[in-house]
Structure 1
Amino acid sequence: MGGRLDLLLGVVLMVSPVFGISSCSFDGQIALYRSCNLTQVPQVLNTTERFLLSFNYIRKVTSSSFPYLEQLQLLELGTQWTPLTIDKEAFINLPNLKILDLGKSQIDFLHLDAFQGLSHLFELRLFACGLSDAVLRDGYFRNLNSLIRLDLSKNQIHSLYLHPSFGELNSLKSIDFSLNQISIVCENNLKLLQGKTLSFLSLAANSLYSKVSMDWGKCMNPFRNMVLETLDVSGNGWTVDITGNFSNAISGSQTSSLILSYHIMGSGFGFNNLKDPDQNTFAGLARNSVIRLDLSYGFIFSLNRRLFETLKDLKVLNLAHNKINKIAREAFNGLDNLQVLNMSHNLLGELYNSNFYGLPKVAYVDLKNNHIGVIQDQTFRVLENLSTLDLRDNALKTINFIPSISDIFLSSNKLVTLPNISLTASFIHLSENRLEHLDVLYFLLQVPRLQILILNQNRLSFCSQSQSTSENPSLEQLFLGENMLQLAWETGLCWNVFKGLSHLQVLYLNNNYLNFLPPGIFSSLIALRGLSLNSNRLTVLSFGDLPANLEILDVSRNQLLVPSPNLFLSLSALDITHNKFICECELSTFISWLNHTNVTIFGSPADIYCMYPNSLFGVSLYSVSTEDCDEEEVLKFLTFSLFILFTVILTLFLVAILVVTKFRGFCFVCYKTVQRLVFKGHPQGTAPDTYKYDAYLCFSSKDFEWVQNALLKHLDTQYSTQNQLNLCFEERDFVPGENHIANIQDAICSSRKIVCLVSRHFLRDGWCLEAFSYAHGRCLSDLNSALIMVVVGSLSQYQLMKHQPIRGFIHKKQYLRWPEDLQDVGWFLNKLSQQILKKEKEKKKDNNNIQLQSVATIS
């Protein structure tokens, strides 16, 4: 895959060498001065080989305009924005010039000797220069003995009267007279070309013979004693009669390729004013040895009987872009040597067994972009040498008619399933159909000698039961993109679909909604080199998911969070752009690998970016620092060393710890009992301060009964004299009639600590969330830990993070979680009391470095 891309790139560079330098510059061999607003030819070194001067304002070229450039081979002087004057021997200082391009420059004056001295010139481009008949009549091309190609298209030439010097142009092979105004060409016009062999002669788009009354008896054969490899007379508006007369007139002149496209032959769909060609239309070409005939872009509606009977040597017939709806029996009779038949872009609806009789050697039939919905079973089976059948963009619902051929194109039809028929093909194209069941895929994977299978843009999503696999030793490329394989694989079925493909090299699974890869799905693909998984929903790739010998992997536009670089060590190229990377320390290994790997990474660095945390959103992974993560790794190492050092000591206390853990509630009760006995007569209290309450208890009114039983009875002094906390809560301490916000603010300001009991009811209570915001604001302004958050019930991190004030708190602070085990309640209440009574010094923490972060929670 990569080799083909490199080869293509090399070809582009070879054919476009001037792309490597900027405009208005010179590199010693190529002088590129396009669109530089020049009014005269600039001076360049005598080493120049290519001189490009188009799109300027040069008005005049004389014999002194160019320095002596012995090595110059190409001069481009076309498309000047002002009229151009070319003086006598204007190019005399360019003795080895091979290509001269003056196209699209309006030539006001062309001296008769303008091209003298160009003995090595083999291509002269004079298209769209406003030239008249004089350019042919007056001998402008004298002494151009090496001239091979002459382009005089798009001028104002009305008649072909050739100067005698044309008889001396022995190297001339190609002449283009298209898009002029030449109405008649007769034998006397081209006498000077008799005896020559031309590879190309174009008289296209001249209204030739179509707007004048012709006496073919006097005009005779314009190409007598000439050999024409390609004759282009397209776009002249020829009817069946003109085409027939022309065929008869040129009878006997050898013409290998005849282009008659853009004609007006045929009645068209729904009209009868013009007739379709018949067996007499091309009868005159019987002795012309026509090998290629182009009748495309016309209005032929019906292919009449024995239409091409006289064209015994024809190998390529192009009937594309007509209105063909009917094929008469024996329409192709006589085409014993035809190999390629193109009938694409017509109006065919049904094909019958007799349609293609008389084509014993045809190998390629192109029927794409018709309206074909029904084909009889034997239609193509009579074509013994058929190897390629193109039926794209039709309305087929079955393929019972398909013979055993090498290349089958059936994309963009209406196939819902495939019949169990015998197929033998090396290439099958079935994209853009309506195939749903993976039975189709299992069936096609059993086709002998199949090398390439394309099933993109179908609906493959259903697998009724596991299918048995069969070896396919020939399949090399499999395209399954833009289907719905996730729906099939999530049922646990069809995980063996690739088991028999030991020679598969390229596999496309893009756009299949995949959120997982079935275990071992690629285990049999030992020859796989390229894999496309782009535009799916994969969040993780595990070891063993990818084939061992994979070289090129595309996992772009997935949802990979923290990929392991060890997955990509065997690759030579990787596309991992547009994923959803979580830029925390877990990703540091991948970031380091990304910056140092020899693997070719497709896409720009800006396309590989962080999605989380928000502080790094959109930042390229190449710009993310991992220094802090290195310190964390060192800390982990030291911690592990200490763990090893004290393992023996910890083992000695293991039993004790287990006992305490198992009976921690009882142990805590004993501890409190001993504490009361020791401090009997010495009540513990807190020093008076400026706060009215020890803590403001913020909770939802729907949780009041639970709060009263679980906390108030064990902490609040008004519930029991043994309790030591003076608590404030809404049901008891808020002033009736007072503004609720004012009550909340007063409670927060009058309390040393604010305890928010976050439950499901709390998250739905707007007043509770408002109170949390005020409390959090006090923490930020006073730089202390006045806010204590207690999570009650089975609330997940995600549910908490949905609320902005809570999310801001837990990003920076720890929170408590109400214990699930009843024996931990006493210990928890004691710890909560200590935090409420604790007075902390104000701290200020400044962190200016962008680094990888993780959220710590207490469970």
Structure 2
Amino acid sequence: MGDHLDLLLGVVLMASPVLGIPSCSSDGQVALYRFCNLTQVPQVLSTTKNLLLSFNYIKTVTTTSFPFLEQLQLLELGTQFTPLTIDKEAFRNLPNLRILDLGKNQIDFLHPDAFQGLPHLFELRLFSCGLSDAVLKDGYFRNLESLTRLDLSINQIRGLYLHPSFQDLNSLKSIDFSLNQIPIVCEHGLEPLQGKTLSFLSLAKNNLYSRVSVDWKKCMNPFRNMVLETLDVSGNGWTVDVTGNFSSAINGSQIFSLVLAYHIMGSGFGFHNIKDPDRNTFAGLARSSVIRLDLSHGFIFSLNFRLFETLKELKVLNLAYNKINKITDGAFYGLDNLQILNMSYNLLGELYNSNFDGLPKVAYVDLQKNHIGIIQAETFRFLEKLETLDLRDNALKTINFIPNIPNIFLGGNKLVTLPNIQLTANFIHLSENRLENLDYLYFLLQVPHLQILILNQNRFSTCNKGHAPSKNLSLEQLFLGENMLQLAWEGGFCWDVFKGLFHLQVLYLNNNYLNFLPPGVFSDLTALRGLSLNSNRLTALSPGDLPANLEVLDISRNQLLSPDPDLFASLSALDITHNKFICECELSAFINWLNQTNVTIFGSHADIYCMYPDSFSGASLYSVSTEGCDEEEFFKSLNFSLFLLFTVTLTLFLMTVLIVTKFRGSCFTCYMTAQRLVFKDRTRGRETDTYKYDAYLCFSSKDFEWVQNALLTHLDAQYSDQNRFKLCFEERDFVPGENHITNIQDAVWSSRKVVCLVSRHFLGDGWCLEAFSYAQSRCLSDLNSALIMVVVGSLSQYQLMKHQSIRGFVQTQQYLRWPEDLQDVGWFLNKLSQHILKKEKGTKKDNNIPLEALATIS
């Protein structure tokens, strides 16, 4: 326990706050003098605990360099920009020093007694100081009875011959000799460490044993009578032969964690002249009680028969970043206690039933980032203790092999369908696959005990009828971002996909192209606390759309125009940045709420801005004034005389309507005849404008024959020279091979008006509904009525209101109906022509119009 407290103390000392201290100054406890061009140690207060002197020009440290600092625990003297000389007992006046950092110095002279007088020194950093073997052979570290960590990495040490004083360093636990030039380590060189237990010993990246011929009979076991919790010999370029000889030489030494990463064992891919390790390679470790073995970052191609059979106590095996393509039957025999197997980032393509035999206790298997496309059905069935299987970023097209385990990672594969198999899991990760039908979501929501389901970046866009609600009482988090739920929901199906999820707490629906929320879609989510709807196309939220107990809502990057602040009453945090707010008086309630609410609003003020009108474009909602927007009550009382006038006028109008209705066909024929006679000398042309087409006719392809006979022959100029309009429609004017959405967008924006012929076929056509939505978006963008809706056939109001986008139009705009009586067709075509020719009145731009004035304009 004491060692852990010492390590914690070191972390605390290094993490001491210095950000609030001005450079080249002291606050009494921390003295910060980095980059201060010092040539000697400055005078500091006796209460100083941390003295930071790196990056200066201090050349010499002697016994007089420091005043008596009894409370100093950390001294940082590394990276001086000039060669450093350290004299005898240079730190004598720092009796309670715990951490001494001299790293990255060019030490020209280091007196053998430089560190005397430091009885409480816990950590000594001498990395990258140009030190030679002498620092080990000449007793530089004697009398440091509290020394626990010694860092001598990145020096010029060429041999390990430790001074006998190392035997007296009873607190020593960690020594780092990495990145030196030590070609060989033998028993007599480390003899002073015998009988000790070290938590960490690193000999990494020294070319150890790899470039010299070793007589192991003379060298013997360098770690005899030692207990090493972690031995790092990685990056030494060991082949199979070197590894085998080393394993045999250290036979019997207790090494709980052996790091052999960055080796050159194995034939790699396509080479046969270099051996893969075999059952003899690690045989010498049989009595070393190895619990963790790291063989990552190498070239192992094949795991041979009984490769690890002597490692009976091994619990963690890391084989990541090799070239493993083949697992021989029985390769894992003997690993009776293995719990974690990491084979990620290899070249596996197929897995067979026998590949993982001999792993009765394995709980975690990591196979991500391979090329696995086929897995036999029984491959994991007999791993009775398996809890987590990670198969992310492979090439799987089916999951018939999945066992009933708590955690399944299958993201980044090529799954198009899910088989009807029994699953039991707490966590399922299926993001970045190719699932399209929401049937699979309904299936997954039936998995017992499921708590977290991740389905981001799939292709959910279709839905079948007749699904039973899931009633999953365990699911807590559901991730459905970056799909296409709009296409599934706009047909009126699968609105009950979240029914029964009474325990769901977090739901992600970001990037789903949503332009509406189905009524009651969140009604069962009584436990929902966090909801993400960001990066969709929502223009409005209706009362009841959001769950009642919602606390955190992300609705950023949508197209909200004038949100009702009452919708956010239950929230504690809200992200509403990057929307398209219309800064007119209708928004005043939201602006007032925004400036007064206690709800945490994410994002900066500049990210919540006006989009319309142009005079407020880009202005932060926090800077917009709402003064003068209290509208007076209109029409408080009606004058009796006005009422009488209205009544008489209405009566005359109704009588006229009755007469015209009875003989409307004849009346209209006479009217048109008179009009032609009166205006016979006027040209039939009209002023040109910037639009390519007069109108874009949007209709279902199933209605083409009727549209051609009823409209095109009477209106389109290419059908008859007598017709005056240049019309656009899909069958003739869409660019073949172009993206359909792009064709629709071009047609909508290059036509003066968009005429949507809403029939039964239109309501069942997803592309027609998408074009309708784009036309509405243009209306909002241009602030005009460019969209003309014509209802064809006996469609009821209820049938129209079933579709969110059409419901919004019907509730706020007028639309036309195709006449049932043939005598009204001529009148209707004339009326439609007038709508097409009608030009919208522009809005005069004035950057100085205040918000209160807009109330009068509107």
Q: TM-score, normalised by structure 1?
A: 0.76
Task: Tell me which amino acid in the other structure corresponds to 2:393.
Answer: D
For 2:18, the equivalent position in structure 1 comes to 18
Deviation at 1:102, TM superposition (A): 1.5
Aligned counterpart, 2:208: 208
Do the aligned partners of 1:200 and 1:229 also contact (CA within 8 Å) in 2? yes
- Which amino acid in 2 is paired with 1:764? D
Residue 111 (structure 1) shift: 2.0
Aligned-pair CA distance for 1:50: 2.2
Give the deviation of 1:466 after TM superposition: 3.7
Q: SS of the counterpart of 2:512? A: coil
Summarize the Cα distance change of 1:126–1:379 in structure 2 as closer, same or farther, 3 Å threshold. same
- Per the alignment, residue 658 of structure 1 pairs with 647
Residues 264-311 of structure 1: CA deviation (Å, up to 9, x unaligned): 111111101111111111111111100001111111111111111111
Q: For 2:286, what is the secondary structure of its paired residue?
A: helix
Query: Could you tell me how far 1:164 is from its partner in structure 2?
Result: 1.8
Matches of 2:395 and 2:847 in 1, distance apart? 67
Aligned to 1:284, the other structure's residue is in SS state helix
Aligned-pair distance for 1:38? 3.2
Match of 1:287 in 2: 287
Aligned counterparts of 2:753 and 2:372: Cα–Cα separation in 1: 66
Amino acid at match of 2:537: R
Residue type at the aligned position of 2:652: F
CA apart distance, 1:593:
1.2
1:455-497 deviation line (CA, Å, top 9, x unaligned): 1111111112241112111111111111111110111111101
Give 1:68 shift: 2.9
1:838-849 equivalent positions in 2, closer than 5 A: none
Contact map agreement 1:210 1:237 (CA 8 A) in 2: yes
Paired residue secondary structure (2:188): helix
Q: Distance in 2 between matches of 1:201 and 1:212?
A: 22
Amino acid at match of 1:654: F
Give 1:547 deviation, angstroms.
0.6
**How far did residue 138 of structure 1 move?**
1.5
Q: Deviations over 1:175-206 (max 9, x none)?
A: 00001000110000000000000000000100
User: Relative to structure 1, is the Cα distance of residues 13 and 29 closer, same or farther in structure 2, using a 3 angstrom cutoff?
Assistant: closer
| 1:112 Cα offset (Å) | 1.9
- 1:41 alignment partner in structure 2: 41
Separation of aligned partners in 2, 1:663 and 1:57? 104
AA partner of residue 524 (structure 1): D
Q: Which aligned pairs between 1:436-451 and structure 2 lie closer than 5 A?
A: 436-451=436-451
Give the SS at the match of 2:243: helix
Q: State the partner residue of 1:407.
A: 407
Q: Secondary structure at the match of 2:567?
A: helix
Aligned partner of 1:659: which letter?
V
How far apart are the structure 2 equivalents of 1:536 and 1:802?
A: 21
- Distance in 2 separating the partners of 1:529 and 1:116: 61
Deviation at 1:165, TM superposition (A): 1.5
Instruction: Please state if 1:507 is matched with 2:507.
Output: yes
Counterpart mapping for 1:571-590 below 5 A:
571-590=571-590
What are the within-5 Å matches in structure 2 for residues 125-144 of structure 1? Answer: 125-144=125-144
Equivalences for residues 330-345 of structure 1 within 5 A: 330-345=330-345
Is the contact made by 1:152 and 1:178 (CA closer than 8 Å) also made in structure 2? yes
Residue by residue, what CA displacement relative to the aligned partner does 1:490-544 show, whole Å, maximum 9, x if unpaired? Answer: 1111110111110011111111111111111111100001111111111111111
Q: Is residue 583–residue 852 contact of structure 1 (8 Å, CA) maintained in 2?
A: no
Superposition map of 1:42-121 within 5 A: 42-121=42-121
The one-letter code matched in structure 1 to 2:341 is L
SS at match of 2:497: coil
Following superposition, the deviation at residue 65 of structure 1 comes to 2.8
1:324 maps onto 2:324 in alignment: yes
How many angstroms does 1:853 deviate by?
4.9
1:522 aligned residue: 522
Q: CA offset at residue 30 of structure 1?
A: 2.7
Instruction: Report the secondary structure of 1:663's partner residue.
Output: helix
Deviation at 1:856, TM superposition (A): 6.9
Output the CA distance in 1 between the equivalents of 2:673 and 2:621. Answer: 49
Secondary structure of 1:595's counterpart equals helix
Checking the alignment, whether the CA contact within 8 Å between 2:614 and 2:847 is kept in structure 1 is no
Instruction: Give distance in 2, aligned partners of 1:765 and 1:343.
Output: 63
How far did 1:93 drift? 2.5
Separation of aligned partners in 2, 1:144 and 1:360: 48
Are the aligned partners of 1:391 and 1:410 in contact in 2 as well (CA < 8 Å)?
A: yes
2:689 pairs, out of 764, 773, 796, with 764
The DSSP-based 3-state class of the residue aligned with 1:443 is: helix
Cα contact 1:302–1:326 (8 A) shared by 2: yes
What is the alpha-carbon distance in structure 1 between the residues aligned to residue 465 and residue 26 of structure 2? 69
Is the CA contact 2:616–2:847 (under 8 Å) kept in the aligned structure 1?
no
Please give the secondary structure, in 2, of the residue aligned with 1:441: helix
- For residues 318-347 of structure 1, what are the alpha-carbon distances to aligned partners after superposition, in whole Å with 9 as ceiling and x for unaligned? 111111111111111111000001111111
Separation in 1 of the partners of 2:533 and 2:455? 15
CA distance in 2, matches of 1:803, 1:162: 85
- In the other structure, the counterpart of 1:388 is 388
How far the C-alpha of 1:851 sits from its partner, in A, is 3.2
Map of 1:553 onto structure 2: 553
Deviation of 1:567 (Å): 1.2
Residue of structure 2 in register with 1:296 after alignment: 296
Distance 1:103 1:357, change over 3 A: same
The aligned residue for residue 356 of structure 2 is: 356
TM-score, reference length from structure 2:
0.76
Supply the distance in 1 between the matched residues of 2:25 and 2:478 (Cα, whole angstroms): 48
Read off the aligned partner of 2:648 and give its amino acid letter. V
**Secondary structure of the equivalent of 1:279?**
coil
Deviations 1:776-811 (A, max 9, x none): xxxxxxxxxxxxxxxx9999998999799xxxxxxx
Unaligned runs of 5+ in 2: 1-10, 657-671, 692-751, 756-774, 785-826, 828-844
Contact 2:615 2:847 in 1 (8 A): no
Judged with a 3 Å threshold, the aligned counterparts in structure 2 of structure 1 residues 578 and 217 are, in CA distance, closer, same or farther, namely: same
Matched residue, 1:774: none
> What whole-Å deviation, never above 9, does each CA across 1:43-100 have from its counterpart, x for those lacking one?
3323332222223333332333333332222222222222222233222222222111
The separation in 2 between residues aligned to 1:364 and 1:77, in whole angstroms, is: 45
Instruction: Kindly report the root-mean-square deviation, in angstroms, between the aligned alpha carbons of the 2 structures.
Output: 3.2
Q: 1:254 to 1:369 in 2, by over 3 A?
A: same
Instruction: Determine the C-alpha separation between the residues in 2 that align with 1:432 and 1:801.
Output: 34
- AA aligned opposite 1:761: R
- The answer to whether the Cα contact below 8 Å between 2:584 and 2:855 also exists between their aligned partners in 1 is no
Q: Which residue of 2 aligns with 1:268?
A: 268
Matched residue, 1:566: 566
SS in 2 for 1:435: coil
What residue in structure 1 maps to residue 160 of structure 2? 160
Identity %: 74
For residues 148-186 of structure 1, the C-alpha deviation after alignment (integer angstroms, 9 at most, x for no partner) is: 010101110000111121111100000000010001100
Match runs of 1:615-654 below 5 Å: 615-629=615-629, 633=630, 636-637=631-632, 639-640=633-634, 643-644=635-636, 646-647=637-638, 650=639, 654=643
**Structure 1: where are the runs of 5+ without partners?**
1-10, 668-702, 713-729, 733-758, 767-791, 805-821, 823-844
Map of 1:454 onto structure 2: 454
Cα deviation for residue 401 of structure 1 reads 0.5
Distance 2:466 2:86 in 1: 79
Question: Does structure 2 conserve the Cα–Cα contact (< 8 Å) formed by 1:508 and 1:531?
Answer: yes
Q: Give the aligned partner of residue 532 of structure 1.
A: 532
Distance 1:210 1:68 in 2: 49
Residues 21 and 524 of structure 1: CA distance in aligned 2, closer, same or farther (over 3 Å):
farther
Q: Secondary structure at the match of 1:120?
A: coil
